[in-house]
């Protein structure tokens, strides 16, 4: 197992909490400790002997602390190979002591960036010595143990206690891998900071938190989630989240963020089968459920308001996988928790991401998130008939739902309620026919309803079909070379048509 005793250690850290047990273990076993600045004082205050790095190098810390450990006696002690005679001779010749343990963390660059600090403060938190020490110690893992994060202190203390201040090759290689994880994540954050203003054309992302999932989209596929989900979602009940659960939750959260008024949506395979606004969550649920009482089974529910007991009792009879809300009354949770596998999530914060990316072919595609929400200011009436204020509200509602539905899609709505949608069809006409059929199946009267399309109409066929069903107003991006054909038909049949100028494809 290549068990090696630690004879000397270099400790220089920004965060000192939970460091004390390591220092005391090293002192107990007579390990010589080298340190700098605040860490040196921390060790001295523990009553443990410590040698200043300046005494080792015979060179002071300079440039306001920017250069402290960058010296051959430090890096030589870390990097020299204990099994090579030439390295041993040079270490003896230049009086370089072996450094068998390096405990170093990095200046908090990401935290400083997130705090909104000035550029000068951000730049000063780019660590030079620390990152170099981490890489050097990790490279020479055959001889050196590298501790690169305060998150590792307790585990390292346990190892040193168990093995009497020695480590084996497996320990050292594991911590070397973790060190390169730390360093690569750190460098990626710095690169992305600079790449904002002076883009160099590279794609780099780094997410260190990993949660292995039961499986991927299907049981024969492995799956994992990378990210700190607990900062956004608090799970209050139910089984472990699956890959498909997470995909659906993402779709649900993106959709519900479009609405300020009390709204509830029911989704299945990322598409809404029910969406409604109402004075209360209970009423919004009732209206959303009415749009498709079949597809709602096993679906994902999401609302933008606190769930009270009345709403929870109304939902309770439905079998659904997940409910997401910003809050829950205590008596509502009592109702919802009666089914132990039902996943109940409290959303703690909104989505902050502005980019989307995914693997494709032999590379990655990236785009801005579609953050454009069609509003009253975007509506341009292109027909003789003007939509009423109620129609405009219904059109904006339908457009919001349409934006989050798989293309090609048509959405039919009335009075803050999704009546039906045609989803993921190869033609817009098929999407409309599917929506009409579904609305009628669930007993909705389409006369006076409105229609939304995620993209322009290349021909007037969709408005012709819609007119025959009594649909009175249409919202679409416009932009077809044959827009006028659809406009002319609407004018002849007293339909109102609105252009937004913004397409919302979703693939």
Q: What are phi and psi of 295, to 5 degrees?
A: -65, -25
Residues taking part in catalysis: 139, 269
Using alpha carbons only, how large is the chain's radius of gyration in Å?
31
How many Å apart are CA 406 and CA 149, to the nearest integer? 43
Cα 105 from chain centroid (whole Å): 25
> C-alpha distances in angstroms, 89 versus 8, 81, 96?
19, 11, 10
How many Å apart are CA 438 and CA 416, to the nearest integer? 18
How many Å apart are CA 253 and CA 416, to the nearest integer? 19
Q: Long-range contacts made by residues 461-466, C-beta under 8 angstroms, separation at least 24?
A: 461/429, 462/410, 462/428, 462/429, 462/432, 462/486, 463/489, 463/490, 463/495, 463/497, 464/489, 465/429, 465/432, 465/433, 465/436, 466/432, 466/495
- For residue 308, give every residue at least 6 positions away whose Cβ sits within 8 Å of its Cβ, in sequence order, or none: 280, 281, 282, 329, 331, 332
Yes or no: say if 82 and 88 are a contact pair by the CB < 8 Å rule. Answer: yes
- Phi-psi region for residue 240, left (φ > 0), alpha (ψ -120 to 50) or beta? beta
How many Å apart are CA 381 and CA 50, to the nearest integer? 78
Around Cβ 38, how many Cβ atoms within 10 Å?
A: 13
For the sheet with 233-237, list strands across it. 233-237, 343-347, 322-325, 300-303, 263-268, 271-277, 417-422, 410-414, 450-453, 473-476, 496-499, 380-381
Determine if the peptide bond prior to 344 is cis (ω within 30°): no
- For residue 89, give every residue at least 6 positions away whose Cβ sits within 8 Å of its Cβ, in sequence order, or none: none
> C-alpha distances in angstroms, 355 versus 167, 187, 352, 367?
43, 20, 9, 6
């Amino acid at each position: 197992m290549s068990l090696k005793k630690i004879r000397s250690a270099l400790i220089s850290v920004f965060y000192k909490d939970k460091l004390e047990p390591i220092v005391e273990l090293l002192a107990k076993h007579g390990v010589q400790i080298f340190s700098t600045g605040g860490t040196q004082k921390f060790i001295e205050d523990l009553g443990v002997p410590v040698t200043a790095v300046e005494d080792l190098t015979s060179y002071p810390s300079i440039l306001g602390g920017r250069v402290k450990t960058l010296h051959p006696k430090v890096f030589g002690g870390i990097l020299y190979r204990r099994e090579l005679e030439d390295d041993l001779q040079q270490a003896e010749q230049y009086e370089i002591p072996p450094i068998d343990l390096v405990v170093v963390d990095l200046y908090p660059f990401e935290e400083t960036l997130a705090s909104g600090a000035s550029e000068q403060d951000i730049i000063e938190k780019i660590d030079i010595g620390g990152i170099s020490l981490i890489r050097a110690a990790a490279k020479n893992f055959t001889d050196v143990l590298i501790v690169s994060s305060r998150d590792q202190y307790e585990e390292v203390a346990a190892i040193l206690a168990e093995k009497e201040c020695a480590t084996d090759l497996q320990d050292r290689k594991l911590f070397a891998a973790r060190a390169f994880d730390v360093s690569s994540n750190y460098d990626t954050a710095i690169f992305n900071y600079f790449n904002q203003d002076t883009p160099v054309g590279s794609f780099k992302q780094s997410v260190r938190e990993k949660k292995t999932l039961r499986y991927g989209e299907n049981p024969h596929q492995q799956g994992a989630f990378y990210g700190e989900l607990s900062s956004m979602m608090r799970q209050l009940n139910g089984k472990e989240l699956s890959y498909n659960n997470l995909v659906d939750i993402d779709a649900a959260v993106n959709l519900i963020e479009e609405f300020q008024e009390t709204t509830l949506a029911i989704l299945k395979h990322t598409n809404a089968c029910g969406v409604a606004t109402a004075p209360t969550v209970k009423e919004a649920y009732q209206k959303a459920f009415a749009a498709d009482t079949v597809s709602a089974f096993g679906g994902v529910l999401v609302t933008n308001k606190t769930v009270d007991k009345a709403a929870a009792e109304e939902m309770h009879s439905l079998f659904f996988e997940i409910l997401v809300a910003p809050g829950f009354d205590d008596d509502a949770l009592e109702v919802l928790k009666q089914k132990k596998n039902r996943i109940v999530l409290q959303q703690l914060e909104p989505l902050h991401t502005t980019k989307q990316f995914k693997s494709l072919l032999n590379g990655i595609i990236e785009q801005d998130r579609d953050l454009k929400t069609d509003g009253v200011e975007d509506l341009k009436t292109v027909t003789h008939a003007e939509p009423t204020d109620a129609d405009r509200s219904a059109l904006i509602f339908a457009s919001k739902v349409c934006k989050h539905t798989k293309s090609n899609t048509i959405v039919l709505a009335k009075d803050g309620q999704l009546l039906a949608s045609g989803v993921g069809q190869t033609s817009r006409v098929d999407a409309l026919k599917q929506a009409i059929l579904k609305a009628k199946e669930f007993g909705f009267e389409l006369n006076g309803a409105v229609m939304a399309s995620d993209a322009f109409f290349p021909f007037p066929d969709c408005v012709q079909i819609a007119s025959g069903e009594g649909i009175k107003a249409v919202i679409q991006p416009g932009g077809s070379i044959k827009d006028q054909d659809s406009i002319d038909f609407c004018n002849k049949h007293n339909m109102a048509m609105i252009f937004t100028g913004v397409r919302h494809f979703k693939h």
